Amino acid sequence: MNAMPNTGRIWLVFVGLTLVGLGVFGRIVYIQTVEHDKWASRGEEFSTSVRTIEPSRGQILARDGSLLATSVPVYDLRWDAKCEGMRWDMYEDQIDTLCIALSSAIGKSPAYVRGKFDNAKQRGHRGALIGRNIPFTDYQELRNLPFVQLGRYKSGLVFERRENRRRPFGKLAARTVGIDREQQRVGIERAWNDELAGVEGQQLSRRVAGNQWMPVTDDYLVDPVEGMDVVTTLDLHLQDVATNALEQQLRRHDAAWGTVIVCEVSTGNIRAIANLTRHEVTEGVVEYWEDFNHAIGTAVEPGSTFKLASLMACMEAGMLPTDSVDTGNGEIFFYQKRMRDSNYKDGGHGEISLSKVFEVSSNVGSALAVKETFGEKPQAFLDGLKAIGVAEKTGIRYVGEADPKVKTSVDDAGWTGLSLTQMAIGYEVTQTPLQTLALYNAIANNGRMMRPQLVSEVTSGGENVRTYKPFVLNPRICSQTTLVACKNMMEAVCDPEGQGTAQRLFAGKPYTVAGKTGTARIATGRGYEEGRYRASFAGYFPANNPQYSCVVVIADTKSGSYYGSTIAAPVFREVADLIYATDPAFHTLSKGPLAEAPSVPASNDGARDALETLYDALGMQHTQGLGTDWVKVTTGEDAAELTPLDIPESGVPDVRGMGLRDALYLLENAGLRVNYDGIGTVKSQSIAPGTPLRTELTTIQLRLS
């Protein structure tokens, strides 16, 4: 009897809920359509958040202060078209001037910029993007415009700062300097990220259309702290020569990749490090650039440069440099595997001394010396290599140093009857070029093995924060007797009057060299491929008073030449020539007029204040009392004559004869974008001095000496 009333109540509830649901749905539709703009505006007012502000990243500098990597500020301009305190009278009066200035900054027409403002005004946009990537100099000029000076609450304009990371010297040490990116930083950018990164700040921001955030004010809740600067050990002049010499040789022999490292003997500081890899950009067009740090990250079989470690181990075990080794006709078999010397077709070297084995790079002689010394006790050979220091990383502060593979026990799974004689000539072992150089640098440094270093100090605001002193890895890698023998053997390799593998390379040079050539077959998954080799040269100079050590490795040439003496050693020679020609340490004047009465040092044209400060500090006579900021310098024997340099107010400045820093200052302040090639003094400029400046952004090209 009660079924009908219950059913009626259920239907009544159902109808009521349905009507409520339809009402809610209708209200949602009404809000999303008719009242959308109203509630979106209200939502923007309350959608605020404290946002992280990235600090300015520190700079990476060469040892002379030149910029290797720097963060260049750029700005995005947004406009709040519904700013509550907007001065619309000023907007209407100044908008055309603002659009003209912005058009020059972003490379768009004034009409395009005006369209951005009109569209934002029509839509009531609270965070319209008006311009992107505004350079710092243009940003400074824009900030001086009357409408912009009203501030964010009366103009609605907000500048958002971002940092663009740039390497002013392009591919010079590019992979070593590295890449700054959120994911997978590399190089110094990664190894020194804690110092470079700085401390993040905080700023109150508001969400605007497109899920973008716009600062509520230009002030910070917490100021970001800029990163510290990292000063490297790299010498830009030497880096440039090493890179160019390497690239020319790679192109000449169509090689797959190559690397050069130049190190200061006494400290282990790396003065130059170049890594170039072959890329076929289009069919028949080959370019070389840095995309991997082979010097530090590529461990390969070193070949004959490893014979230094092998014969050192023999001499430390009691063998003498004068002991004889019978190399026979230059061909021998170990466990049915043939080994040959390069002159086996000419009958080999016969019976020669251990020193001669190294000088002529005899594979047979090196293998026999190791077998005769350690054949009954192979573990002692491995222990000897470990004591020398070739079985471990250098420990350089740099992410990605490859592990050397030098067997440490005869119980290792890879040990065979051939291992002893193969390791003797640089096979069945791998090392990076840097690890090879560490050994040769230790010989030059009287037996002290130094840890290679890429950074000398960290600074903040120009003040030293931390200094990295030279670090000794091993104070004595061998006995004094062995050390002297190794130096003599390496000098014999490069002696123009001898029979060494690098005998002809340094004839007529005013300096002496000690080193070792190397040629190794390239192993693949299918074994050693015919005709594929890796050439190397490691050594130091001057031989009688070592200042610099250097290693060169060039892989997989296609020219038909592949020996270390013809492929790698010429690059070493070109680098050594430059160092000898430009390093004052090699050219001390002991007599003559210049030694008795040094002349005034020559100088580039430039800023008067800096030049006067320098001459005063040196106690040199110079013209004084000039009422001009920029001067031309004429250097005499006793004094420097400074004369006013005319800088036109509305024309392109004449920066020829200036250093790059002064040239950049003048040209960028004149509103020009600057590109340049080379280092040193400005030799030419693409736009003639005095040419009237244009309203739109113009690029000028400088060529440096």
What does the pLDDT look like over 577-589, one tens digit per residue?
Answer: 989 888 877 766 5
Q: Kindly state the helix (H) or strand (E) to which residue 155 belongs, with its residue range.
A: helix 152-155
Distance CA 699, CA 134 (A): 15
**How confident is the model over 675-704, as a mean pLDDT?**
82
- Amino acid code (one letter) for 386: K
Residues 358 and 338 in one domain: yes
**10 lies in a domain?**
no
Residues 188 and 301 in one domain: no
Last residue of a domain, one of 182, 206, 229: 229
Q: How many other C-beta atoms can be found within 10 angstroms of the C-beta atom of residue 4?
A: 8
- Give the per-residue pLDDT at 47: 62
**How confident is the model over 673-684, as a mean pLDDT?**
82
Residues 174 and 303 in one domain: no
The residue range of the domain holding 680 is 603-704
Question: Are the CB atoms for 364 and 340 separated by under 8 Å?
Answer: yes
Question: Are the CB atoms for 429 and 405 separated by under 8 Å?
Answer: yes
Residues 219 and 244 in one domain: no
Domain CATH number, residue 121: 3.90.1310.10
- Give the per-residue pLDDT at 1: 46
When mean pLDDT is compared over 145-159, 304-318, 646-660, 680-694, the highest value belongs to: 304-318
CB crowding 506-541: b at 16 or more within 10 Å, else e: beebebbbbbbbbbbbbbeeeeeeeebbbbbbbbbb
- Give the per-residue pLDDT at 189: 92
- Amino acid code (one letter) for 662: D
Is residue 498 packed enough to be buried (19+ CB in 10 Å), middle (13-18) or exposed (0-12)?
Answer: middle
The pTM of this model reads 0.74
- Quickly list H helices, 270-322: 294-297, 307-316
Last residue of a domain, one of 229, 260, 295: 229
- Give the per-residue pLDDT at 593: 44
What total of structural domains would you count in the chain?
Answer: 3
Residues 254 and 218 in one domain: no
Residues 166 and 277 in one domain: no
- Residue 337 structure tokens: 């595997």
pLDDT at residue 598 above 60?
no
Instruction: Give the contacts of 225 (CB within 8 A, at least 6 positions apart).
Output: 55, 198, 199, 201
Between 228 and 218, residue with greater pLDDT: 228
Residues 255 and 323 in one domain: yes
Question: Which of 453-457, 499-503, 692-696 is least confident?
Answer: 692-696
Question: Are the CB atoms for 547 and 537 separated by under 8 Å?
Answer: no
Alpha carbons within 13 A on the beta-carbon side of 638:
0
Residues 244 and 224 in one domain: no
Segment 404-450, tens digit of pLDDT = 999 999 998 889 999 999 999 999 999 999 999 999 999 999 999 99
Strands lying side by side in the sheet with 48-53: 48-53, 201-208, 212-215
Domain CATH number, residue 630: 3.30.10.20
Residues 222 and 244 in one domain: no
Residues 615 and 674 in one domain: yes
Confidence of residue 594 (pLDDT cuts 50, 70, 90): very low
Residues 254 and 213 in one domain: no
Residues 482 and 536 in one domain: yes
**453 lies in a domain?**
yes
Distance CA 635, CA 642 (A): 9
Q: What is the dihedral of CA 301, 305, 308, 314, to 10 degrees?
A: 40
Provide, rounded to the nearest whole percent, the portion of the chain with pLDDT above 70. 90
